[in-house]
Structure 1
Amino acid sequence: MNKFQKIIFLFCLSFISSNVFSQDDEFPGGSPYTIFGIGDLKYNTSLRTNAMGVQGIGLLGNYVNNMNPAANIFLDYTKFSVTADYGLLKSTNDISELKVSEGNVTGMNIGIPFSRTNGWVMNLGINPISLIGYKISQSGVQDGQSFNKIYSGKGSLTSVSLGMSYIVFKAIGLAAEYNYAFGNIKDESRVVFNNPLITNTRIRSENDLRGSFFKAGAVLFAENITSDKNLKNLTLGFSFHSKASLTSSVDAIYSSSVGEDTVRFERGTFEIPYQLGFGISNKFSDRYVVAADLIIQNWANFREFGISDPTYGTSYRAGLGFEIQPSKDDRKSMWEKLTYRFGGYYDKAYYEVLGNSITRFGISAGIEIPISELNSIDFNVNYSTRGKTDFGLVKDQSINFGIGLNFGEIWFIKRRIE
């Protein structure tokens, strides 16, 4: 985001009015923090990892992982998953309060194993990278005329991916993945006068973004290199997302008393910095899984049309999660057939506001309900809080309900005879 927009944001936080959280069809609003950079980073790996509060960088299993493609090496059969969520957001400051609700499809992924022995798995997916949605209003008086200045924005970045994983040396899973990122960001500023004899003004821009980046991942699993029963399910994971240089093309519309004019700016680039991730997991007593991971990204290297922002720095996200898997007793009850998950996470945003770091803490929980041998439904709930109302800032509180449908098929692989 440019300097002009940032100054507007900070100024409006100090003079926020009851109109700040008004809504319309095109710009329903949302967290003011999404005005920065490319908006809110979306950490949607899968419903399994969302419920555990982690990204699954070192978490193996029979699910499709789009954060670390190397974590797909133990996929037993072709698996297709689609996830969606419905969220409630409450943003408050010392004066006003916003309540917004929204539902979205949060990802579609498919994993196709060609060889269980070699961990040869192909994964394809379409998943969100970031989301923008804000609406800020400021009231004022000039030359005896009252007016409202309204700054709105919405948009998203999405990636389409294709990756492949493979096991080497019987203990290391490696993977590479190509991602094509695309999206559209709309920003609008309006001056609305209460006097109908004065013409309102509007400046609107649409930014189309396109570009590619790559992911690489590795997992080290101890199953084939140790006889220690406490370590045989230990897994270490590493992920790398390359820098993304996105081509930017901006159209702007200016409306005033003299008419409307459309201008196309020169093409430029958004440079999104590379990301590193580290993870670890272990399974105990064949049922109890513990996982933790950390993601780091240095946004001081972010460039918008070649310009950096001195308030951008290192962002990180840390999570710790637990999973209780069903017992293998054939006589288990319905409740014992479910998989239970819970966890928590903490993250720091890549931007500062008025010299303050913006952090978020969240907790999550979920269950997986088997429908048949290969199909299941995931449910989860996530609560988080971000920011604070001190120093003219905004506090976000959100609760999200997620659902995931998992469908399995036996493709290319013969059924395993137990």
Structure 2
Amino acid sequence: MIKRILIVVLIGFTVSGWAQEGNTSPYSFYGLGLSNFKGSVENQAMGGISILGDSIHTNFRNPAAFGALKLTNFAIAGSHTETSLTSDEGSGSTTATTIDYLSLSFPVSRKLGVGFGLIPQTSVDYANIEVSEEQINQYSGRGGVNRAFLAAGLEPFKGFRIGAEASYNFGSIRNEIIQADANQQYAVREIDRSDVSGFTYNLGLQYEQNLGRGYQLHTSATFQPETALTLENDRSLQSVIYSAADRSVAGVVESQDFRLADTEMIMPNTYSVGLGTGKRNVWFAGGQVEFAETSKSTNRSFTLNDASYQDSYKYRLGGYFIPDYNSITSYFSRVTYRLGARYEESGLYIQNESIDEFGISFGLGLPLGRGFSNANLTFEYGQRGTNNAGLVKEDFFKVGLSLSLNPLRPWFVPNKYN
């Protein structure tokens, strides 16, 4: 019954998630938008760390972890976010319901695992308006970038894993500016559209060392080499009939389309290292640091006068605890309890103010039935941005739900009986 209820809830996430953009934030205007993806729901609950290899879950941030898979895993996740925005001009609130990922992973042999899936990587979703006695300026944007990935992980000898991932990134971003002057009959609307495409790659390592008495040391590292995504850019200039009362365009009087030059968006070198310790299926605690050369980042088809990029750093802490993994008398003793925290320097500076983000999270891994399948819940509170220099500060609360479904045996093990 619990499994059926959770599936219905996740289907609800799916229906509403495809109908909305992922981040209702003014900061999604910059670059390719805000990142939707923080790892699996299980990882998110632990501050986003991706140190562990797991035999029944998919680790999306370190491809080496696919070498640890022992069972086929189907994973789907969605989330709902409530955000409060404050600035010197006032306050407001937004909501967003999204799909986080969809994937299928499986062991090819006892040492090799592969996986593929689709992840909505970034989203652009903002709306802002400036009103004076003489003029109305209205800004909005929609779209984002999706990532289809194929990954493989190999465990050449016990405890040591290597992995690689190739991803095709695709999507479309639309920015719109409307200027309505009280002294002019028609308003002017400019629509900029960028179609994004290109490949990115990720390499990973994981190493586990037994320390005795059941304790283990876990280390991990990833490297995403610099690549460039191609942006095909178009622009439309229009004379429009603008309704100030409805804040919308009532009709188009004249339109002229332009094909702009293609541009490139640099996806910079990104490195991460992680270290942790614990007892398998009992507890784990670890930390991870990520560094990205985002000072090489560029914007799309227009120039930003008040924004710049510097290198970024991300710090993550997290872990889990299972009271009694094999309990047959207490369901809640078999539940996985997760806790984490993160602090992220995005590398984006607006009016010389760093746009940073932090979050604290808690999660539950809920066993489903008699096998290894489980549902995972994550609750996170966080902040993004600042009120300095007239900017916007965001307080958000996020609820995530995933289903991680596994058969009772590896697909490559044949039946003993017909």
Q: TM-score, normalised by structure 2?
A: 0.85
Map of 1:161 onto structure 2 = 149
Map of 1:252 onto structure 2 = 235
Q: Is the 8 A contact 2:38 2:48 kept in 1?
A: no
Shift of 1:412: 3.2
- 1:75-120 Cα offsets, whole Å, 9 max, x none, are 220001000001111111022112111101010122111223x2x1
Map of 2:163 onto structure 1 = 175
- Residue 122 of structure 2 is aligned with which of 117, 130, 133? 130
- Residue 399 of structure 1 is aligned with which of 397, 400, 416? 397
Q: Is the 8 A contact 2:145 2:171 kept in 1?
A: yes
Shift of 1:268: 2.3
Shift of 1:129: 2.3
Map of 1:68 onto structure 2 = 62
**Amino acid aligned to 1:214:** Y
Query: For the structure 1 residues 317 and 395, does the alpha-carbon distance in structure 2 shift closer, same or farther, using more than 3 Å as the test?
Result: same
RMSD of aligned Cα (Å): 2.6
163-172 or 85-94, larger mean C-alpha shift: 163-172
Map of 2:177 onto structure 1 = 189
Give, in whole Å, the separation in 2 of the partners of 1:360 and 1:228. 38
Give, in whole Å, the separation in 2 of the partners of 1:246 and 1:328. 45
- 1:218-244 Cα offsets, whole Å, 9 max, x none, are 111114xxx52365x211101111223
The reply on whether 1:288 has 2:291 as its aligned counterpart is: no
- Residue 377 of structure 1 is aligned with which of 370, 375, 383? 375
The reply on whether 1:53 has 2:50 as its aligned counterpart is: no
Give, in whole Å, the separation in 1 of the partners of 2:303 and 2:88. 31
Q: Is the 8 A contact 1:59 1:235 kept in 2?
A: no
Alignment of 1:14-413 (within 5 A): 30-116=24-110, 118=111, 120-141=112-133, 146-193=134-181, 198-223=185-210, 228-229=212-213, 231=215, 233-256=216-239, 259-284=254-279, 286-304=281-299, 311-372=308-369, 373-409=371-407, 410-413=409-412
**Amino acid aligned to 1:394:** V
179-188 or 329-338, larger mean C-alpha shift: 329-338
Q: Is the 8 A contact 2:268 2:293 kept in 1?
A: yes
- 1:273-296 Cα offsets, whole Å, 9 max, x none, are 121111122223750111221111
Q: Is the 8 A contact 2:22 2:124 kept in 1?
A: no
Query: For the structure 1 residues 339 and 58, does the alpha-carbon distance in structure 2 shift closer, same or farther, using more than 3 Å as the test?
Result: closer
Q: Is the 8 A contact 1:57 1:239 kept in 2?
A: no
Query: For the structure 1 residues 391 and 92, does the alpha-carbon distance in structure 2 shift closer, same or farther, using more than 3 Å as the test?
Result: same
Q: Is the 8 A contact 1:347 1:360 kept in 2?
A: yes
Query: For the structure 1 residues 74 and 210, does the alpha-carbon distance in structure 2 shift closer, same or farther, using more than 3 Å as the test?
Result: same
Q: Is the 8 A contact 1:154 1:185 kept in 2?
A: yes
**Deviant stretches of 4+, over 6 Å:** 25-29, 305-310
- 1:256-308 Cα offsets, whole Å, 9 max, x none, are 16611111112222121121111122223750111221111111112347999
Query: For the structure 1 residues 371 and 58, does the alpha-carbon distance in structure 2 shift closer, same or farther, using more than 3 Å as the test?
Result: closer
Percent identity of paired positions between Structure 1 and Structure 2: 22
- 1:23-54 Cα offsets, whole Å, 9 max, x none, are xx999982211111112123431111011112
Helix, strand or coil for the counterpart of 2:213?
coil
Query: For the structure 1 residues 162 and 241, does the alpha-carbon distance in structure 2 shift closer, same or farther, using more than 3 Å as the test?
Result: same
**Amino acid aligned to 2:92:** L
**Amino acid aligned to 2:190:** I
93-102 or 173-182, larger mean C-alpha shift: 93-102
322-331 or 60-69, larger mean C-alpha shift: 322-331
Query: For the structure 1 residues 328 and 349, does the alpha-carbon distance in structure 2 shift closer, same or farther, using more than 3 Å as the test?
Result: closer
Query: For the structure 1 residues 175 and 44, does the alpha-carbon distance in structure 2 shift closer, same or farther, using more than 3 Å as the test?
Result: same
Q: TM-score, normalised by structure 1?
A: 0.85
**Amino acid aligned to 2:378:** N
Query: For the structure 1 residues 188 and 292, does the alpha-carbon distance in structure 2 shift closer, same or farther, using more than 3 Å as the test?
Result: same
Helix, strand or coil for the counterpart of 2:27?
helix
Give, in whole Å, the separation in 2 of the partners of 1:220 and 1:100. 42
